[in-house]
Amino acid sequence: MKNVLIVGSGAREVAIARKVSDSKIENSLFCVSPDSNPQVSSLCVDYFISPLDQVEKIVSYASLKRIDLVIVGPENPLALGLVNALDAAGIFSVGPKKEVALIETSKAFARKIIDLCDKNKNPKRKEFHNTSSVLDFINELGENYVIKYDGLMGGKGVKISGEHLASPEEGLDYANDIIRGGGSFLIEEKLVGEEFSLMSFCDGKTCKHMPLVQDHKRAFEGDRGPNTGGMGTYSFSDHGLPFLKESHISEAQKTNELVAKELHKNTGTPFVGILYGGFMLTRQGIKVIEYNARFGDPEAMNVLSILKTDFLEICLSIMNESLSGVDVQFDSLSTVCKYAVPLGYPNKPEKGFLVGCDVDNKNLYLASVKSEGKELRAGGSRTAAYVGKSQHIKEAEKLSEEGIREVSGNLFHRKDIGTEELIESRVKRMQEILG
């Protein structure tokens, strides 16, 4: 019997909780989270309502409940050293210690690690702690640049020239805002191509790769609007993506493996948990956009909904450093996941309105909701996701679109995610870029 504690209770953690409770390995599930998600709580024997920055309280709770294994969903507790504190109390986590979670926490650190693996995977870039030479570097990049806040911003700290920044002066204003707030930032060359996510299970020695997924960061259809945590994702039944060759996939897999190794070498701490590489295929080859130290959200819903191998068995093999002996398999199905988000998201989201949906639907994943008795109210961040699964992407998209429309409230979603039209236009665009 294993006592498993899940940290967090968004849609990603619903996906994790369902996989743990479906395991053949007998277990009791616990959750710690600031809000009670009814889809997680219905699977738990106990639910601890607590902010996730209360590291000591979470460790005390885990000790009290004799937890064998903790699975950490979001990035903030990783950055705060929750895994270090649990480890000191003798409790194992599927999640990295803060020294190596820095691959997500600091974009400057991530770029340094990638340089040590393969310099060609990085764009041109410079770190800034003041704004004195910002305009010079923007000029050097020919005004094709990206400004990235160097810290955790839930995917919303990146502004791109021509999309969010109309002139170098607007870029300078954003840079000044960051400095005034006590932060630092990177300016990077603006890369052009198609993005994809590759997540790998890591036990400190071995990486086992998951199917590739494409996320949609922009808020609005046609990839317009501000960056978000991710509006939706799709994956193909062959576990690749139609604009990528086999060689691109193995290059991305190799990069995750090198990054895991280099993190260990550089910090003395092995990377244990889920390593998420965010890549872009460009005319100059595969480049790294970012690294995360956890399951992607929504990517987790795509891959976990088709994971064939027992998830808890994988987690225990990560704990025992025996991942190399586990055959990690996924169903040959395509998936499309769409998020319904509050009107105004991400900048000024409405909140507090009633959300209507079928909580028992296994393809529906509740995210930022507050439950009041039988009622659900929107918390303000992404509200709920719906996954369509089928052999063919067209059918998966149809199921996802129909499912997400059933969620009622002051919400919107991107109808274009996973459609044949959008995917074909991506393939065509990639062909044009590659020449």
Q: Across the strands, what pairs with 224?
A: 220
Name residues contacting ligand GLY, limited to 176-215 (CB under 6 A): 215
Closest to ligand AMP by CB, 148 or 248: 148
User: Site size for ligand GLY, by CB under 6 A?
Assistant: 7
Residue 150: contacted member of ligand GLY, ligand AMP, none (CB under 5 to 8 Å, by partner type): none
Closest to ligand GLY by CB, 12 or 126: 12
Residue type, 220: F
Residue 297: contacted member of ligand GLY, ligand AMP, none (CB under 5 to 8 Å, by partner type): ligand GLY
Residue 296 interacting with ligand GLY (CB under 6 A): yes
Smallest Cα–Cα separation from 386: which of 330, 307, 311, 302? 302
Residue 299 interacting with ligand GLY (CB under 6 A): yes
**CB burial class (10 A; 0-12, 13-18, 19+) of residue 224?**
exposed
Task: Give the β-pairing of 125-128 and 185-189.
Answer: antiparallel
Long-range contacts of 26-29 (CB under 8 A, 24+ apart): 26/1, 26/2, 27/1, 27/2, 27/3, 27/312, 28/1, 28/2, 28/3, 28/4, 29/4
Q: How far is the CB of 223 from ligand AMP (least distance, A)?
A: 9
Residue type, 164: H
Handedness of CA 403, 405, 411, 415 (dihedral sign): positive
Which segments within 283-348 are labelled E, that is strand?
A: 285-292, 334-342
Q: How far is the CB of 396 from ligand GLY (least distance, A)?
A: 18
Instruction: Identify the residue among 39, 93, 235, 292 touching ligand GLY (CB under 6 A).
Output: 292
Q: Which residues contact 41 (CB under 8 A, 6 or more apart)?
A: 9, 31, 47
Closest to ligand GLY by CB, 267 or 292: 292
Closest to ligand AMP by CB, 100 or 141: 141
Residue 263: contacted member of ligand AMP, ligand GLY, none (CB under 5 to 8 Å, by partner type): none
Residue 160: contacted member of ligand GLY, ligand AMP, none (CB under 5 to 8 Å, by partner type): ligand AMP
Q: Do the Cβ atoms of 376 and 364 come closer than 8 Å?
A: no
**Contact footprint for ligand AMP (CB under 6 A):** 123, 146, 148, 155, 158, 160, 188, 190-191, 195, 217, 227, 278, 289-290
Closest to ligand AMP by CB, 25 or 153: 153
The site for ligand GLY (CB under 6 A) is made up of: 155, 215, 230, 292, 296-297, 299
